[in-house]
Chain A
Amino acid sequence: MTVQGWLLILVFTAIVVALVKPMGAWLFALYEGRRTPFHFVLGPVERGFYKLAGIDPNAEMGWRRYALHMLVFQLATLLFTYLVLRFQDVLPLNPRALPGMSPDLAFNTAVSFTTNTNWQSYSGETLSNLSQMLGLTIHNFLSAATGIAIAFALFRGFARRQTSGLGNFWADLTRITLYLLVPLCIVYTLFLIANGVPQTFASSVDATTLEGARQTILLGPIASQEAIKMLGTNGGGFFNANSAHPFENPNALTNLVQMLSIFAIGVGLTWTFGKAVGNTRQGWAILAAMLLLFLGGTAITYWQEAAGNPIHHAIGLAGGNMEGKEVRFGIAASSLFAVVTTDASCGAVNAMHDSFTALGGLIPMFNIQLGEVVVGGVGAGIYGFLLFALLAVFVAGLMVGRTPEYVGKKIEGREVKLAVLAIAVLPLMILGLTALAAVLPQGLAGPLNKGPHGFSEILYAFTSAVGNNGSAFAGLTAATPFYDGLLGVGMWIGRFFMIVPALAIAGSLAAKQHHPESAGSFPTTGPLWIGLLVGIILIVGGLTFLPALALGPIADHVAMLHGQLF
């Protein structure tokens, strides 16, 4: 580990903390439906949408209605993208005359982008420009906006009193897209273009390499997709190499900004939550718990990657583990990127996680298994985290001798039931689908490597899919009907079996009375609470995966220490 490496991590963390309040305040304005400076330009667009669709943006929706509208919308856009991908060969903007996608791959890809997972069983190079821009990029915006809208609905559940209304899904979706994602992406895209990221409709250029060979390098509207890929914690790269590709991520500055943009909205939402419930310290406490888990993970991964592989050392290869990493970024920036992208359910990568050391690769996987609640996907992170907060309040809150309360709302049987339901989906799908793949021949055909490392590849794939992360451990041949189908189902359930209970909780909480905080209330702002949150997330969210991790990365690690590789 180097001083520069740690400096990068600390500078990154400091900027993240500095971003919290401005981002949070921006989001809060949208949460409240207030005017923003962009209304001047985009206000007519917003009203135009409502008029076209015949929507009253002020009509309050109960949780069932909110959930129903959201689900119908997801299914409709899912179908749209599926059709675009299947028939890209006959649709315009296909200069390379690419064929249509196979049904299983199109299903997997459509689900993947609808659920903000952006798992890529396909290779980015096999998509037409129309498929990229229309089929996928709309989801990059809409799935991100959906996640934030769900978070808003849940915040309203906590903040409102004795009402059934959670806001209006269409208004939330439109405002978040128009007044947050679009303006941010325009600025971000220009920044990326300035740093050399291509933005063109030309499909490729031909270059002559130093050896004199001719190489065809693909081009396209990369910068614009890159911006929303990061900001919306989508992660689906234009190229298969994702942010390790120089056209996606040209230099150290873009690398830092990309990492920051993954966290920006997620951390901002913690502040928005605090503001919504009338006490920003509530939001800071959540952020502190997230940052503790983030820094812990970063420290372990960086330490393991910098320590390198003793087997390599024995044959004279000194230094850390550089396998699968870009020399432009090095160990610290790659380790940090890996932790950020898995904490935040982004899934963009600038190094191959499969090539990390066993424990260095365990952390990204474990981050996702915790439920993508360490900052997490935009919106998804905070609503997932709040489910754990409810659980933590319920387990420990009784110890102050009162019925558990969180930000003024009593937590009772119904909330506990729904929270447990949502949280149990993760181990059920991750472990269940991994178990299926680990015994069926179609599953066993997937992994590249043998032994515990091969097991890690399967486990990581399902972890990434169900957690809606989308990063790949690589090594696994996932573009088969078996994996396409199972991963697709995993992504869908991992997303919506969490969202629907979260909305139901919001509905149940909104109907409740608010109980003002007193000296007898369970304190949910101090260090004790932060420690408690971390403990509950690790024990309930993490320990469940210990048997699987023991047979995967942990076994891999101890084998490495004994001089065995897989």
Chain B
Amino acid sequence: MTTTPATMFSAKLIGPAVGDAFRKLNPAELVKNPVLFTTAVVALLLTVLLGLGGEKLSFAFQAQLIVWLWLTVLFGTFAEALAEGRGRAQAASLRATKAELTAKKQVSGGYELVPASALKRGDIVLVETNDLIPADGEVAEGVASVNESAITGESAPVIREAGGDRSAVTAGTRVISDQIKVRVTQEPGQGFLDRMIALVEGAERQKTPNEIALTILLVGLTIIFLIAVATVPAFSAYAGGSVPVAVLAALLITLIPTTIAALLSAIGIAGMDRLVRFNVLAKSGRAVEAAGDIDVLLLDKTGTITVGDRQASEFRAVSGVSQGELAEAALLASLADETPEGRSVVTLAREKFAVVQTALPADAEVIPFTAQTRLSGVKLGGTLIQKGAVDSILRANPGTGTTAQATELRRMTDEIARAGMTPLAVAQDGRLLGVIALKDVIKAGIRERFAELRRMGIRTVMITGDNPLTAASIAAEAGVDDFLAEATPEDKLALIRKEQQGGKLVAMCGDGTNDAPALAQADVGVAMNTGTQAAREAGNMVDLDSDPTKLIEIVGLGKQLLMTRGALTTFSVANDVAKYFAIIPAIFVAFYPGLGALNIMGLASPNSAILSAIIFNALIIPLLVPLALKGVRYRPIGAGPLLARNIAIYGVGGLIAPFVGIKLVDLVVAGLQLA
């Protein structure tokens, strides 16, 4: 994101949120939140009754009750507005980018300038240096470096080229060198940018399955408490008295779960927002919830478990060749190799064997690496030095395959592979010299992360193209639970299906077009933003930073969202005990004075007890807004301890807090003689 995150309660956000809080009183919108809607209906009813007069209660008392009931509703709409407002600030800058997009659309015999919104799927547009790419699409022709900071916040340019896995381009990003032709793959208004704007704004937010289920529960509780309250007048009549409507209303509103209902959508919006701030776009709220449920994480070895590049760690010469000789040949073969692996060979040769040569002679002829030969090398005068995969070297030097050196070489290769390293063979003029061992460097702290995941019941599976021996060794060193070696995209898909048939939910990340089926099959499929359009379409999340490690954090964010909902629901339900003890004696003490014994909080008077309960019920909402927006802290300590902790805080705390809170409010209410 290009905008800096607004702090939670900056004036910039609160002002508009207050306005929106009132706008959200619109019944058509409010009805989506049944509990708040009920509260508003009750508040409206009391307001009308107050206007009509005739209740036994004092005007001041009724007026205060009504004000607090309306505030309860407004605090709820405010919480939602505040959560939306935070996203909207980010959306504003994206929308500004979108507004200025124009396109050079290819027409017969040239290009014409059209607004980006007029582009359709299949159109070809030309994008030249310093142009903004007008629509999502694939590079049809050419190669260019593109600055995608508008979307990712990352200013280093990336290469986009026709064909292959780096062909996807996003609207609003800028070409900074060369020119490309882009085939538009989006329909107007449905591009990545549009989706992102809708997402961060919270507009058209669909309720997630869990949110719907929770809403059903809240409606159910509301109905149960409605029954409990609606029968009180009849019971009171039997006892020879009557209870004012305003008091019944107060009892109802304190009992129904207003706290969680008021904060529910704010929690959902804030959860998505946390993900966006984390530079991950979830295409649906359902995906975020699924992230919390993940049982199996498929992690690519390279970049997630190991740092991207392997390092040369050892030279092993065959008998009859000295290590120095091997080191020198390896260095010569690698001097022109600018990959990190090549440079690590040079470094190792210099440090360990004091080979001093720093540059190739002018007449040297470099043999570049190709996918066909799978080897590289150098020709120096009449000498040919080759470096490459063991099989490739043997194939390139027919006749060496059956020698004693070849046998020895194969044995070394196996040893190296078993130790989790990758062997590279070196040959000089058809003579096998030995092997360079390239070692995978496990990321610092990754082992501990996997232990954490295990405690949370999540199994990690390492996906790698390495052979099984190497894979097993790295898997053991990194502490993953399982590995899939020599993995093809089909293997990945099959593994996901197998896990899912066993009732597991699987998350993975990928970037290539051939990852697309697996990304679509996974319950959480995180596509890398640098990946192909097909991958980005198939996944249900896109990581703008293209960092596969994030999968682990995404699971944590999903859990945090669900935990926050559960914690506040438990808190809300537990609160009811104290509220009963505040209001029941207040209502019935007039019929049976002995029931004053139930007033265990020692509240000053029946009216102050009722008012205090209503005030507490309203004030708890804004007090919990920060928690709803920030989320309950997630700790990877296993479900049992986590539950014990959260029950202690939100369950037991939810039982006790209102006893204290209502008492405190009552002291103020009584002190100010409000009731």
Which of B95-103, B197-205, B421-429, B576-584 forms part of the interface with chain A? B576-584
B648 and chain A: residue at smallest CB distance: A528
B560 within 8 A of A: yes
Cross-chain contact A561 with B594 (CB below 8 angstroms) = yes
Cross-chain contact A455 with B577 (CB below 8 angstroms) = no
Interchain Cβ contacts under 8 Å between A and B, 21 examples? A398-B210, A398-B567, A398-B569, A399-B646, A401-B634, A402-B562, A402-B639, A403-B292, A413-B216, A421-B220, A424-B227, A427-B228, A438-B237, A520-B457, A521-B639, A523-B643, A535-B574, A543-B577, A544-B225, A555-B595, A559-B594
Bound Cα distance from A44 to B650, whole angstroms? 58
Bound Cα distance from A401 to B289, whole angstroms? 9
Cross-chain contact B598 with A401 (CB below 8 angstroms) = no
* Chain A CB within 10 Å, residue with most, of B231, B233, B598: B231
Cross-chain contact B224 with A555 (CB below 8 angstroms) = no
Bound Cα distance from A529 to B293, whole angstroms? 20
Q: Which 7 A-B residue pairs are closest in the complex by CB-CB distance?
A: A398-B566, A520-B457, A401-B559, A558-B594, A420-B220, A518-B457, A435-B234
With a CB–CB cut-off of 8 A, which chain A residues contact B220? 416-417, 420-421, 423-424
Given A400-B643, A403-B289, A420-B220, the answer on whether A551 and B238 have CB atoms closer than 8 Å is: yes
B639's partner among A411, A523, A554 (CB-CB below 8 A) is A523
With a CB–CB cut-off of 8 A, which chain B residues contact A400? 559, 563, 566, 639, 642-643, 646
Interface residues of A (CB under 8 A from B): 391, 394-403, 408, 411-413, 416-417, 420-421, 423-424, 427-428, 431-432, 434-436, 438-439, 444, 452, 455, 513-516, 518-523, 526, 528, 532, 535, 539-540, 543-548, 550-551, 554-555, 558-559, 561-562
Cβ-Cβ contact count across A and B, 8 Å cutoff? 218
A401's partner among B213, B502, B562 (CB-CB below 8 A) is B562
Bound Cα distance from A555 to B240, whole angstroms? 13
With a CB–CB cut-off of 8 A, which chain B residues contact A394? 213-214, 217
With a CB–CB cut-off of 8 A, which chain A residues contact B595? 550, 554-555, 558
Bound Cα distance from A412 to B210, whole angstroms? 7
* Chain B CB within 10 Å, residue with most, of A417, A431, A522, A548: A431
Bound Cα distance from A436 to B231, whole angstroms? 9
B215 and chain A: residue at smallest CB distance: A413
B87 within 8 A of A: no
* A289 → B minimal CB distance (Å): 15
* B35 → A minimal CB distance (Å): 14
Interface residues of B (CB under 8 A from A): 209-210, 212-214, 216-217, 219-221, 223-225, 227-239, 251, 289, 292-293, 295, 454-459, 502-505, 558-560, 562-563, 565-567, 569-570, 573-574, 576-577, 580, 584-585, 587-588, 591-592, 594-595, 597-598, 634, 638-640, 642-644, 646-647, 650-651
B243 and chain A: residue at smallest CB distance: A547
Bound Cα distance from A171 to B577, whole angstroms? 45
Bound Cα distance from A264 to B560, whole angstroms? 44
Cross-chain contact B563 with A551 (CB below 8 angstroms) = no
Cross-chain contact A416 with B217 (CB below 8 angstroms) = yes
A399's partner among B235, B502, B567 (CB-CB below 8 A) is B567
With a CB–CB cut-off of 8 A, which chain A residues contact B217? 391, 394-395, 416, 420
Cross-chain contact B234 with A438 (CB below 8 angstroms) = yes
Given A424-B220, A519-B454, the answer on whether A559 and B563 have CB atoms closer than 8 Å is: no
With a CB–CB cut-off of 8 A, which chain A residues contact B563? 398-401
Cross-chain contact B594 with A395 (CB below 8 angstroms) = no
Cross-chain contact B594 with A555 (CB below 8 angstroms) = yes
Given A401-B560, A413-B209, A555-B591, the answer on whether A519 and B644 have CB atoms closer than 8 Å is: no
A538 and chain B: residue at smallest CB distance: B577
With a CB–CB cut-off of 8 A, which chain A residues contact B292? 401-403
Given A396-B570, A544-B224, the answer on whether A528 and B235 have CB atoms closer than 8 Å is: no
Bound Cα distance from A399 to B558, whole angstroms? 12
B643's partner among A399, A432, A539 (CB-CB below 8 A) is A399
* A168 → B minimal CB distance (Å): 27
With a CB–CB cut-off of 8 A, which chain A residues contact B639? 400, 402, 519-523
A396 and chain B: residue at smallest CB distance: B570
B591's partner among A532, A544, A551 (CB-CB below 8 A) is A551
With a CB–CB cut-off of 8 A, which chain B residues contact A423? 220, 224
> Contacts A532-B651, A535-B574, A547-B588 given; 14 further ones with Cβ under 8 A?
A398-B569, A399-B563, A399-B643, A399-B647, A401-B559, A403-B209, A432-B231, A455-B239, A518-B458, A519-B638, A550-B584, A551-B592, A558-B592, A562-B594
Cross-chain contact A547 with B503 (CB below 8 angstroms) = no
Bound Cα distance from A395 to B566, whole angstroms? 6
Cross-chain contact A551 with B236 (CB below 8 angstroms) = yes
With a CB–CB cut-off of 8 A, which chain A residues contact B567? 398-399
* Chain B CB within 10 Å, residue with most, of A519, A532, A554: A519
Bound Cα distance from A540 to B256, whole angstroms? 11
With a CB–CB cut-off of 8 A, which chain B residues contact A438? 234-235, 237-238
With a CB–CB cut-off of 8 A, which chain A residues contact B454? 519
Bound Cα distance from A554 to B592, whole angstroms? 10
With a CB–CB cut-off of 8 A, which chain B residues contact A535? 574, 651
Cross-chain contact B231 with A435 (CB below 8 angstroms) = yes
With a CB–CB cut-off of 8 A, which chain B residues contact A396? 566, 570, 643, 647, 651
With a CB–CB cut-off of 8 A, which chain B residues contact A513? 503
Bound Cα distance from A401 to B563, whole angstroms? 5
With a CB–CB cut-off of 8 A, which chain A residues contact B643? 396, 399-400, 522-523, 528
* B93 → A minimal CB distance (Å): 32
Bound Cα distance from A403 to B214, whole angstroms? 11
Cross-chain contact A431 with B228 (CB below 8 angstroms) = yes
Given A396-B647, A519-B456, the answer on whether A543 and B594 have CB atoms closer than 8 Å is: no
With a CB–CB cut-off of 8 A, which chain B residues contact A547? 228-229, 231-232, 235, 251, 584, 587-588
* A466 → B minimal CB distance (Å): 12
Cross-chain contact A528 with B644 (CB below 8 angstroms) = yes
* A528 → B minimal CB distance (Å): 6
With a CB–CB cut-off of 8 A, which chain A residues contact B209? 403, 412-413
With a CB–CB cut-off of 8 A, which chain A residues contact B560? 401
B228 and chain A: residue at smallest CB distance: A544
Cross-chain contact A516 with B562 (CB below 8 angstroms) = no
B577's partner among A401, A402, A539, A551 (CB-CB below 8 A) is A539
* Chain A CB within 10 Å, residue with most, of B209, B216, B219, B229: B216
Cross-chain contact B647 with A432 (CB below 8 angstroms) = no
B237 and chain A: residue at smallest CB distance: A439
* Chain A CB within 10 Å, residue with most, of B214, B233, B558: B214
With a CB–CB cut-off of 8 A, which chain A residues contact B504? 515-516
Given A394-B213, A401-B559, A554-B598, the answer on whether A546 and B580 have CB atoms closer than 8 Å is: yes
Cross-chain contact B640 with A526 (CB below 8 angstroms) = yes
B638's partner among A432, A520, A546, A548 (CB-CB below 8 A) is A520
With a CB–CB cut-off of 8 A, which chain B residues contact A408? 503
A415 and chain B: residue at smallest CB distance: B213
With a CB–CB cut-off of 8 A, which chain A residues contact B585? 550
Bound Cα distance from A411 to B212, whole angstroms? 12
Bound Cα distance from A335 to B597, whole angstroms? 25
Bound Cα distance from A403 to B234, whole angstroms? 41
Bound Cα distance from A427 to B608, whole angstroms? 29
* A410 → B minimal CB distance (Å): 8
Bound Cα distance from A135 to B643, whole angstroms? 52
* A347 → B minimal CB distance (Å): 24
With a CB–CB cut-off of 8 A, which chain A residues contact B587? 547
Bound Cα distance from A554 to B650, whole angstroms? 30
Cross-chain contact A395 with B559 (CB below 8 angstroms) = no
B453 and chain A: residue at smallest CB distance: A520
Bound Cα distance from A546 to B228, whole angstroms? 9
With a CB–CB cut-off of 8 A, which chain B residues contact A561? 594
* B523 → A minimal CB distance (Å): 11
Bound Cα distance from A444 to B235, whole angstroms? 12
Cross-chain contact A399 with B642 (CB below 8 angstroms) = yes
Bound Cα distance from A427 to B238, whole angstroms? 18
A544 and chain B: residue at smallest CB distance: B228
Bound Cα distance from A540 to B238, whole angstroms? 25
Given A396-B651, A424-B220, the answer on whether A543 and B576 have CB atoms closer than 8 Å is: yes
